Amino acid sequence: MRHLLDTRSLSRDDALRILDVAEDMADTQSREVKKLPALRGRTVVNLFFEDSTRTRISFEAAAKRLSADVINFSAKGSSVSKGESLQDTAQTLQAMGADAVVIRHGASGAPRTLATSGWISAGVVNAGDGTHEHPTQALLDAFTIRKRTFGDASRGRDLAGLRVAIVGDILHSRVARSNVWLLHTLGAEVTLVAPPTLVPQDVSHWPATVTFDLDEAIAGDPHALMMLRIQLERMNAAYFPTEREYSRRWGLDARRLAALSADSMVMHPGPMNRGLEISAEAADSARSTVLDQVANGVSVRMAALYLLLAGSGPDAAQNVTEED
Ligand code: CP
């Protein structure tokens, strides 16, 4: 694997390879082996042009657990505010020895530009670009669904036959887009639930069904109900229902939580708007996978960096050896 830019073009084999290597990474961490030597001498640059808590910190933790050196770059407080371009910023960091660049950017397509422009030779990982994709989020979501559903028998399995409902601000969500493509590739059935004004115009080309009715989606007995953050900062008041209306019709409240079947899981990529798209009761319930998703994010990002920088062959997972 040279870059990880999206899930739309990720093959089933490559997706399963990442998930299986992530299982190996999770195993080492559960045995309190915090550090592996796999990326010793390599440098990972976290290049963040937008705010992040989970993604930036978990990429940093993942790289450090693989013994890589990490350089954290945040556009705030950098020479980007003086007008420095993406090309010059990236080339400056490459000159400091970057082997991989993890990039979050407000412009859809920025990671692909970095990967294909010839500006840098480092591998590129998309950590979220505009409203386009957030592939490692979808991979950690798939990992979480697989682990909750199949437990220790997860390795090598896809998600065939599982039903996943993705609820909320689909229009602005790179998480939704990456999940739709990956879940489809892994065989899951995807239903999108949103107010009509928050459904993208091109949704008929996506491998998913659409409903405006959350209660109908819950009656369909989803294995996973994935609540999305309402991106109020991108919202035009003309097409957003009031928060009260949104919460009443599309929020996961106590009544809807109780209507889910016993083994349905409640997911959210974070950050959450508690009381808007998800109630505190749902977010903190035993069904909630929110903190599992965060923990699994480290394992999945370790796998992505490992496959990018240390090997991509079918035996890659067996090459993960513990620090002595
Ligand atoms: N889920 C997610 O991308 O969270 P952050 O914005 O905190 O990285």
User: CB of 299 within 8 A of CB of 22?
Assistant: yes
Q: Is 242 annotated as a binding residue?
A: no
Q: Where are the domains of the chain?
A: 12-133+293-310, 135-289
**Residue range 226-285, pLDDT digits in tens:** 999 999 888 776 577 889 999 999 999 999 999 999 999 999 999 999 999 999 999 999
Ligand 1 centroid to 57 CA: how many Å? 9
Rounded Cα distance between 23 and 298, Å, is 11
Residues of the chain with pLDDT under 50: 312-324
Q: Is 271 annotated as a binding residue?
A: yes
Residue 317: predicted pLDDT:
43
CATH classification (class only), 12-133+293-310: alpha beta
Residue 55 CA: which ligand 1 atom is closest? Answer: 8
Q: What b/e sequence results for 200-212 when a residue is b if at least 16 CB atoms lie within 10 Å of its CB, and e otherwise?
A: beebeebebebbb
Q: Which of the listed residues 49, 50, 55 should we mutate to test ligand 1's pocket, taking the one with most ligand atoms within 8 A of CB?
A: 55
pTM of the entire predicted model: 0.95
User: CB of 260 within 8 A of CB of 225?
Assistant: yes
Give, to the nearest 10 degrees, the angle between helix 290-309 and helix 54-65.
50
Residue 34: predicted pLDDT:
76
User: CB of 106 within 8 A of CB of 134?
Assistant: no
Residue 298: predicted pLDDT:
97
Question: Which of 39, 117, 45, 115 has the alpha carbon at shortest distance from 75?
Answer: 45
Cβ–ligand 1 distance for 54 under 6 Å, the answer yes
Residue 300: predicted pLDDT:
98
Q: Which fold has domain 135-289?
A: Rossmann fold (3.40.50)
DSSP track, 75-101: STTSGGGGT--HHHHHHHHHHTT-SEE
3-state secondary structure of 26: helix
Query: 135-289: same fold as 12-133+293-310?
Result: yes
